[in-house]
Structure 1
Amino acid sequence: MERDMNVSSTSSVVHWLASLTLTLLGSVHPMPVTIDPVCTADTTAKYSLTFTGMWSQTSFPKQYPIYRPPAQWSLSLVRVTHSSDYHIWQRNEFASNGVREFSEKGEAWTLMKEVEAAGERIQSVYGLFSAPALVGGTGQMTSEFEVFARHSFLSFIVRIVPSPDWFLGVDSFDLCEGDQWKESVTLELYPYDAGTDSGFTFSSPNFETIPQDKVTQITSSSPSHPANSFYYPRLKNLPPMGMVTLTKTKNNQIFSIPMEPTQFNQTGNEIGNEIEDSLINSTPLDCEVSAWSPWGLCKGKCGDSGVRHRTRYIHLQPANNGVVCPSLEEENKCIPDNCL
């Protein structure tokens, strides 16, 4: 009898636990599972990449580098095709030593070694390429590349010269969509700060950031400091500093040698002028003046009211219909000093 009661009691507990489990499972909503899209397109595709520099004195008039050195881009545009588990750089993450050296000095050796090492370690990197140099803030350079379905992501980086550690780039853009390769894509490019140097202006001396910051996008209001070369408080957004166009070529098209760069701000040819007029925005730059100096001595005859003066000077001349400079001298009535 006692054994039968124990069996009955155990059975009741089991049924109760089973009922409780079903109730709890019914109240739990399944967590969404995010799976990286898998490219099922044809094995390979061929693309033409055209980088267009849009860094002109019209679009970015503040502290625009004219000499030693003039505005230009790095000696190479480092481009990588890879899978989704690799990043050459990432916004809001720390830059690698390779990205640091490239963004500060334009030296690509360490960065290329990092990419090669990643390819050997996780087999996520298919190709590493560099495009020809672009001397001048505006102009175009074109190169061609092949991309595989299992390495359908494109990343690249190009250094802003001169600058502390600023660059343009694209992080992990997928050229594949389902079972199709994208035919043509145009991406606007905006400046990024690598977080390794604390300079505010294009020509700032080397001033290492300790501790290192993360990679951040530079905007018209961030860093929020009047000395910053990209500080345009009247603008909601900066104009694009560059643009990249990716065009899928025909499978049977023979690859040509990469085109030589063109500078449409220097050659003055008709094609260059059309590109410049259609792409480059005119950014108004307001005049910036210093604070007033102290009042000077009060000058005048004894018994009469005198006059004193103070002055200020221009930090930045206005450009592109920006606010004109105010008066640089002011006078005020006073009682003459040291009057006998």
Structure 2
Amino acid sequence: MKHFSTLLLAMSLAACGPIPDVEPKSDEATATALYRVTFEATWSAATHPGSYPVGAHFSPLMGASHAHDAEAGLFRPGLAASTGIKNMAEIGNNTALRAEINTLITQGKAFRLLDGRAATASPGSLTDTIRLSRSHPALTVVTMIAPSPDWFAALETHDLLTTTGWTASLRVPATFYDAGTDSGPDYTSPDQPTTPAQPIRAALTPAAPVGYFRLERIK
């Protein structure tokens, strides 16, 4: 009887086939990362003598965590600005850009929206948080330089996930961009719509950056 029971157990195991290896659980602690994003506005009469305008300020931050893919970012130098980028750069209105980012999220190209609600005088600072994921480890953040025709400061597509893990902290100068939609030559020039619109381009590097983006992983 004992021999018969052993035989039945062996036959049952054979019928079930080989026992598969159990896949290790993903490391939930590193699947996503939460970052504090601070824009340090350093633009002042001291850093930019002769061109610093009265009422200098920056619009609320707007950004997204997204795939490290050309089609997933908020803009591309060398291509025309979207309506969202145009409105942000010209008048500091983020409504259309917010909708564009939400569309990217729906399409799976972006992960989270960074939607700042406060502007700041310059010098000054703006702070918000945003979560990134392994499949969306890049980050783009923009803010209008004001007053200006259509100029904006940006942090673009910094991949914060390296081969050794998430970057703990980073501080980089903001890139100064011309949206290509207004031809005014100076900060306080009246509206001069560019027809047809020109591609977005990095403006000539001023004497000093207008600000810095500081990124700190907080979770």
The normalised TM-score by structure 2 is 0.81
Corresponding residue for 1:51? 39
Instruction: State the SS of the aligned residue for 1:114.
Output: helix
Instruction: State the SS of the aligned residue for 2:132.
Output: strand
**Structure 1 residue 47, shift from structure 2 partner:** 1.3
Of 174, 178, 187, 2:163 maps to 178
Return the alpha-carbon distance in structure 2 between the equivalents of residues 63 and 182 of structure 1: 36
Unpaired stretches in structure 1, ≥5 consecutive residues? 1-40, 221-229, 231-237, 252-340
**Aligned ranges 1:187-206 → 2 under 5 Å:** 187-206=172-191
Instruction: State the SS of the aligned residue for 2:192.
Output: coil
**Aligned ranges 1:210-229 → 2 under 5 Å:** 210-220=195-205
Contact 1:163 1:202 in 2 (8 A): yes
Return the alpha-carbon distance in structure 2 between the equivalents of residues 152 and 92 of structure 1: 23
Q: Does 1:149 align with 2:118?
A: no
**Aligned ranges 1:316-331 → 2 under 5 Å:** none
Residue type at the aligned position of 1:77: L
Contact 2:65 2:130 in 1 (8 A): no
**Aligned ranges 1:79-98 → 2 under 5 Å:** 79-85=63-69, 86-98=72-84
Cα-to-partner distance string for 1:72-120 (whole Å, 9 max, x where unaligned): 111x100200112301012222211110111111111111111112222
Return the alpha-carbon distance in structure 1 between the equivalents of residues 51 and 151 of structure 2: 15
Contact 1:197 1:207 in 2 (8 A): yes
The runs of at least 4 aligned residues of structure 1 exceeding 4 Å deviation read: none
Of 52, 60, 63, 2:51 maps to 63
Contact 1:90 1:171 in 2 (8 A): no
Return the alpha-carbon distance in structure 2 between the equivalents of residues 131 and 111 of structure 1: 12
* Paired residues, number: 190
Contact 2:153 2:174 in 1 (8 A): yes
**Structure 1 residue 209, shift from structure 2 partner:** 0.8
**Structure 1 residue 132, shift from structure 2 partner:** 4.1
Corresponding residue for 2:23? none
RMSD between aligned residues: 1.7
Of 104, 116, 119, 2:90 maps to 104
Unpaired stretches in structure 2, ≥5 consecutive residues? 1-28
Cα-to-partner distance string for 1:195-232 (whole Å, 9 max, x where unaligned): 01000011111111112111111115xxxxxxxxx6xx
Instruction: State the SS of the aligned residue for 1:172.
Output: coil
Contact 2:120 2:126 in 1 (8 A): no
Which structure would you say has the larger Rg?
A: 1
Instruction: State the SS of the aligned residue for 2:120.
Output: coil
**Structure 1 residue 124, shift from structure 2 partner:** 1.1
Corresponding residue for 2:105? 119
Corresponding residue for 1:137? 122
Cα-to-partner distance string for 1:30-86 (whole Å, 9 max, x where unaligned): xxxxxxxxxxx92011211111001100111223212xxx00111x10020011230
Larger strand proportion, structure 1 or 2? Answer: 2
Contact 2:150 2:182 in 1 (8 A): yes
Cα-to-partner distance string for 1:141-185 (whole Å, 9 max, x where unaligned): 222222111111100100011110000002211110125001111
Contact 1:159 1:167 in 2 (8 A): yes
Return the alpha-carbon distance in structure 2 between the equivalents of residues 129 and 145 of structure 1: 6
Corresponding residue for 2:26? none
**Structure 1 residue 190, shift from structure 2 partner:** 3.3
Return the alpha-carbon distance in structure 1 between the equivalents of residues 191 and 47 of structure 2: 26
Contact 2:113 2:130 in 1 (8 A): no
Return the alpha-carbon distance in structure 1 between the equivalents of residues 43 and 175 of structure 2: 10
Contact 1:53 1:137 in 2 (8 A): yes
Q: Does 1:248 align with 2:204?
A: no
